[in-house]
Amino acid sequence: MHPHPVARAGRAAWGAVSVLVRRKPLGAVSAAIIGALVAVATFAPVVAPRDPYAFNLNDRGLPIRMQSPDATFLLGTDPLGRDVLSRLVYGARVSLIVGFASVVIGTLLGTALGLVCGYWEGRLDHVIQRGVDTVMAIPAIVVAL
């Protein structure tokens, strides 16, 4: 009896993944790190040890080396006594949301402009193309500044 085609496809996909991991181990490590970041950001309320917005003025500004051996604050506290690790976990969540939102907005905007250029050729097409050329001419480092 032969296995179901879906089961065969699943095994083939995992086989391809294992070949990729063996050929490019650095890519596998990178994928694991990104996967861990996404998992931590997704489950931030569960993973974060403390409330990132609650401050304790008794523990403010504690560096890691000044903490007790029980490691109440693994990465220390900021000047307001907030746990840096919790703030880092919640910050990863915000960073992922902003990153995904910018990709979605860029894709939608690019698709809309491409459809307009393809449908209405002529002057509008040239204006949009020159606008895109201008944006592409600006180096990314200048935009980052």
pLDDT in tens, 42-65: 998 898 888 888 877 776 666 666
| For the chain, domain boundaries | 43-53+86-144
- Report how far residue 13's alpha carbon sits from residue 5's, in angstroms, rounded to the nearest whole number: 12
- Confidence class of residue 100 from pLDDT cuts 50, 70 and 90? very high
| Residue 98 in tokens | 């902003």
Maximum pairwise Cα distance, the chain: 71
pLDDT over 70 percentage in the chain: 81
